[in-house]
Structure 1
Amino acid sequence: MDLSVIIVNYNTKDLLKQTIDSVIKTTKNIKYEIIVSDNNSHDGSIEMMKEVFPQIKLIENNDNLGFSKGNNVAIRESKGRYVLLLNSDTVVLDNCLEQCVNYMDKHKYTGVLGCKVVLKNGELDHACRRGFPTPQASLYYMLKLNKFWPNNEKYTQYTLSHLNEDEINEVDSVMGAFMMVRREAIEKVGLLDETFFMYGEDIDWCYRIKEAGYKVVYYPKANIIHYKGASSSKKPFKTIYEFHRAMYIFYNKHYREKYSFLITILVYIGIMLKLVLTLIRNVFKRR
């Protein structure tokens, strides 16, 4: 088995069908399996899977396990040399998976591969290639200095907007919407950290895999479309909370011991202020 395609689903029935159809339609010359891990959807996703894709392995979780745990349940049952985390709100374009497998086969030190992810409006989903959110990189991002100087490496440490979006580059992290991981790397560093419910688990996995000596590569010759936020948009307050909680978890896990107490306090204050401001903006948008 070359590739195990893992799709976590939560109430995205129609998009899930579209995603699976795109994988089947565009993937011909590699041996692959698809495993859908459903987080207790109540929109007919289970019934659709059993009726339309009875040949595909379906895991029916009894609760919404979140992204990390939902993926881990499926990864444990997967058989591929590579594991692909694929969002249920994506469309895989021609030869994408085959190209990625071939690249991984030729580059043995690549532990994680991400493709070019395009939003439905045709723009690049900038989260598909990122630097690690160090305190400095996060400060520049929060102050939006990357917007004023988009080609300055100092101010684009997190967004990496100074890189050409059509060139292959080694990066710090790619996104969990499309994330191909070498089986040996998983065996070396372990599965996704289930402390993260949603958000942050992808960048944490990349951090650990890079620490283990592998490369994380952005590979724009392969492409997908991302209909972003399809399931998370159904619970905006939960989404906002988990996004900021992931910042806190990641900092505590990887950076707290590397920085002074003062920097840590400032980081905590920054996360809290950003959470409050985001919640306030969200309330006004809903009125």
Structure 2
Amino acid sequence: MIQPGKVAIVILNWNGEKLFPDFLPSIIEHSKGENTEVIVADNGSTDNSLEVLKKDYPEVTLLDLKTNYGFAKGYNVALNQIEADYFVLVNSDVKVTKNWIQPCIQLFENDAKVAAIQPKVLSYKEPGLFEYAGAGGGFIDKFGYPFCRGRILDRVEKDEKQYNNPGEIFWATGACMFVRADVFKASSGLDADFWAHMEEIDLCWRLKNQGFKIIYEPQSVIYHLGGGSLEYGNPRKVYLNFRNNLYMLYKNLPQDKFKRTMFIRMILDGVAAAKFLLGFQWKAFNALFKAHISFYQNLSAVRKKRNALKQLVTTNDHPEIYRKSIMWKFFIQKKTKFSELDFKLK
């Protein structure tokens, strides 16, 4: 049984009416309990989401935000209106399974330093595969590039229970993240300036710098469609990923690695731009260029955030940061599986 403490399962919806029949019933069915509430926070949808939710899903609590705040601010606005001990941030294109809540809540109850938890994330379309956004838990390399157990860059692995060991990770996916409500609010939640993409990695990095743990719990299993709002490869997604990665690095890098890492990232982004040009990927090149322009335009605000966050840091030593280049491993050494990396974890 779930220990005392309210669990609020919060789905941020934007024009997701067509997704409801395939995904929402599983969340309703497998989230029943006197301490559990399923909430859909509508982010200014222009389809018939509100009407459908009221008519077909009366078990769900509806929170009408009336405006599209984006993923990061949308969740901040919604969660600030919700009282609970634990928040579960769930994408509208996620199908959950039986007993997906209990193992994660038990981890919270057993260790007060656990701030966030991610379940195993498998593909909804191909259930035998891990899913891009989270897979078996998230990590970053020394230059800030994210990857997962079960997913290196765009290469996903089959789930053969090879990553069924729970343990510490660097980041938990925003597709399905369990997080302590008081910790989330004390940290000011997700960075609204990110709008969407990588805001969960930024949050987890900030929490880890304050001494908290981020955990992967494979006993909890979900299936994620992916690309529900923006398809993979969409220029808008490319723009947000490049810009937000720079935001995240600038805010959270330790001082002794700051200048060198930022300098090398600029070079690597230049390499990516050249690759886009040589591949005639004009839209992707333009998105990357705009990402850098936006980063420089907002540098003053990002610098203020970095200076404020410095005061909260208790540790910068994170074994969950891969000390080598994932790009080198993938493109040069052809390492396409997490198990092929020389990555020593606890």
TM-score interval, smaller chain: 0.7 to 0.9
SS for the counterpart of 1:195 is: helix
Residue 84 of structure 1 corresponds to: 88
* Cα shift readout 1:216-255 (whole Å, capped 9, x = no counterpart): 1000011000001111129922122111111111111112
Identity of aligned residues (%): 25
Question: Is 2:66 the partner of 1:59?
Answer: no
Going from structure 1 to structure 2, the CA distance change for 1:17 and 1:103 (only over 3 Å counts) comes to: farther
Letter in 1 for 2:74: G
2:142 maps to 134
Q: 1:124, CA displacement in angstroms?
A: 1.2
Equivalenced residue count is: 266
Relative distance call for 1:180 and 1:260 in structure 2 (3 A) is: closer
With over 3 angstroms needed to count, the CA separation of the structure-2 counterparts of 1:62 and 1:238, relative to structure 1, is farther
Greater mean alpha carbon deviation, residues 79-88 or residues 101-110: 101-110
Kept in 2: contact 1:170–1:215 (CA 8 A): yes
Equivalent of residue 115 in structure 1, options 119, 125, 138 = 119
Whether the aligned pair in 1 keeps the contact of 2:198 and 2:244 (CA below 8 Å) is yes
Length-normalised TM-score, structure 1: 0.81
Deviation at 1:58, TM superposition (A): 2.4
Alignment of 1:50-199 (within 5 A): 50-120=54-124, 121-122=126-127, 123-125=129-131, 127-128=133-134, 129-135=137-143, 138=145, 164-199=162-197
- Aligned CA distance change for structure 1 residues 101 and 243 (closer, same or farther; 3 Å): same
Is the Cα contact below 8 Å between 1:39 and 1:66 reproduced in 2? yes
Counterpart amino acid of residue 5 in structure 1: I
Say if 1:8 and 1:37, in contact at 8 Å, map to a contact too.
yes
Aligned partner of 1:252 among 250, 253, 257:
250
- Structure 2 counterpart of 1:155: none
Tell me the SS of whatever aligns to 1:232.
coil
Kindly provide the amino acid, as one letter, of the partner of residue 216 in structure 2: Y
How far, CA to CA, are the matches of 1:250 and 1:100 in structure 2? 26
Q: Which segment is superposed worse, 108-117 or 119-128?
A: 119-128
State the partner residue of 2:22.
18
SS at match of 1:95: coil
Does structure 1 residue 2 correspond to structure 2 residue 10? no
What amino acid does structure 2 have at the position aligned with 1:109? K
- The residue that corresponds to 1:156 in the other structure is none
Residue-by-residue CA offset, 1:63-88 (whole Å, 9 max, x unaligned) = 32111011111111112210111000
Take 1:167 and 1:79, find their aligned partners in 2: how far apart are those partners? 32
The normalised TM-score by structure 2 is 0.68
SS at match of 1:43: coil
Partners in 2 of 1:126 and 1:236 — Cα distance? Answer: 15
* Structure 2 CA distance for partners of 1:268 and 1:78, relative to 1, 3 Å: same
Consecutive unaligned residues in structure 2, runs of 5 or more: 285-346
